[in-house]
Amino acid sequence: MSTGGESRGGNPAGVSGVEVSAATGDSGLLTLPRGRIDRFLSVLVIGLLAAIFVTLLSQVVMRYVFASPLAWSEELARYLFVWLTFLGAALAYRLGAHIAVDLLAEYLERRAGARAGQVLALAIQAVVVAFLAALLVGGVGLVRGTTHQVTPGLGISMSWVYLAIPVGSAIMILSAAGKAFAAWRQRRSGASG
């Protein structure tokens, strides 16, 4: 079992987003993400985590120091956590940091060659994209269906909370398309050169 960011031999499908170098000792979790989108998502995820921390800390202080708890803090932290979950998942997908069980892929590569590994990686990506597309469609339906539903503590539309589902799914779908295109381009340039 490995993280998707680990480089094993040669990743034929080019699915991983961050390569881990054994020579330099870099761990995929400690290297900074590359690209503006990755940096933007990283800042957003860090900001959401900080906002959750500050919200919960202020709730504790208000409750136990001033004996006047905030009515909205728990709700805000919960909704920020929903956004943190989906944007964090999208960032992890872009960086290739999700856990992957690659036992079958390694077995196929040893037995049938790199081409079999590429086919399996492509099939896995197709299943992931199909799941994400279903999540995107369901999330859009959820957003549309909750536009008039208002949260009790904050008084905002629930559609803002559920918007995290289609946004995170769309980012992951676009990332998968980008990775597939990069792998296709790399394979094409390798075949011609």
Residue 193 within any structural domain of the chain: no
This prediction has a pTM of 0.76
| Residue at 159: amino acid letter | S
Q: Is the pLDDT of residue 26 over 80?
A: no
Range of the domain at 59: 2-187
Residue 30 within any structural domain of the chain: yes
Residue 149 within any structural domain of the chain: yes
Residue 192 within any structural domain of the chain: no
127 three-class SS: helix
Give the best-scoring range by mean pLDDT among 37-46, 100-109, 172-181: 37-46
User: How much is the mean pLDDT over the chain?
Assistant: 81
Q: Give the containing element (helix H, strand E) for 64.
A: helix 36-64
Start-to-end C-alpha separation, the chain = 33
Q: How many domains does the chain have?
A: 1
Residue 98 within any structural domain of the chain: yes
Q: Is the pLDDT of residue 8 over 70?
A: no
Nearest partner of 89 among 168, 144, 177, judged by Cα: 168
Residue 102 within any structural domain of the chain: yes
Residue 17 within any structural domain of the chain: yes
The residue-averaged pLDDT of 68-91 equals 95
Residue 122 within any structural domain of the chain: yes
Query: Please, are residues 87 and 44 in contact by the beta-carbon 8 Å criterion?
Result: yes
